[in-house]
Copies of this chain bind each other. A is one copy, B any other.
């Protein structure tokens, strides 16, 4: 073991192994042309001294940091937590590190997050967050940093997108409820200022039109992607006349809030009210009753985002902007049933 371990560098290793720094560098990077005998000697010194190569310096010269930036809305929402988990796992498997930024609440956090990531020369940035409006994103491709974003209205060269197929997902849910003879279906959308919210609302209205049943405007309400919000929403909804017989939520957390509020109010689900969520977070299996919801595969989402960033051909970076669409599946559980009116 060594003294002064903190300022142990290539040169020091070279000195101790009685070779040049170039040889140490080559040995460490497993370059095959190096004499096995010398390589062994180098590795021996490396082990004994507890030397760790300095990635900062390595990145500086190679131009590759092997760090991926990941920006999400809020980890509190299990959907994003799962997403981050999957993404991190992929990154780790492929020798990348993940620089995490959660924009929860703090406005401007996304902006500074992106700036910092450019400054750190990350090899790519995934903005997996609803409502991507920041101008700074456009800077990333200029710096040869590939980007992936959710949905986004922006169509900027060099920016790939991974979309969730809301159109289909919401359609599936609506058709399921229609088949159960519900004709007063409420829709709990996201916050109005988010770009995604518009898309989802339109998907809902289209799906309703398709089944010949016009959407009641008073049953389309904004929400917050949180349990609290779902609870509040049902309280309001329950005052309307005629009452909704089913509630479709744009987020499982909101749906869980509706369920919790129904429990408080003594409303029986699914007999008095059917509830459908969106995303199929793990917890959706364990609510009382288990939640019927539209599954969005976080592993697909994470995989697509990761693949668009990592190990790509360095030449093709700024040109094409690819787009992937993640499929949705309706998962039938026990929070939906025949309308009993």
Contact = CB atoms under 8 A, between A and B. Distances in A.
Interface of A: 5-6, 50, 52-57, 59-60, 65, 67, 70, 74-76, 78, 81-82, 84-85, 88-89, 92, 97-102, 104, 106, 109, 112-113, 115-116, 118-121, 139, 142-144, 227, 231, 256-257, 259-260, 263, 282-283, 285-289
Please report whether the interface of chain A is mostly helix, strand, loop or mixed according to DSSP. helix
A76 B82 contact: yes
A82 B75 contact: yes
A227 B286 contact: yes
17 contacts: A5-B142, A5-B143, A6-B143, A52-B118, A56-B120, A56-B121, A70-B100, A76-B85, A78-B78, A89-B106, A92-B101, A92-B106, A97-B101, A227-B286, A256-B283, A257-B286, A259-B288
Contacts of A257: 286
A121 B88 CA distance: 20
Contacts of A50: 139, 142
Copies per complex of this chain: 2
B89 A85 contact: no
A121 B76 contact: no
A244 B114 CA distance: 53
Contact of A286 (B116, B256, B285): B256
Contacts of A52: 115, 118-119, 143
Contacts of A263: 288-289
B119 A102 contact: no
A5 B92 CA distance: 30
Contact of A84 (B75, B119, B144, B231): B75
B144 A6 contact: yes
A85 B102 contact: yes
Contacts of A53: 119
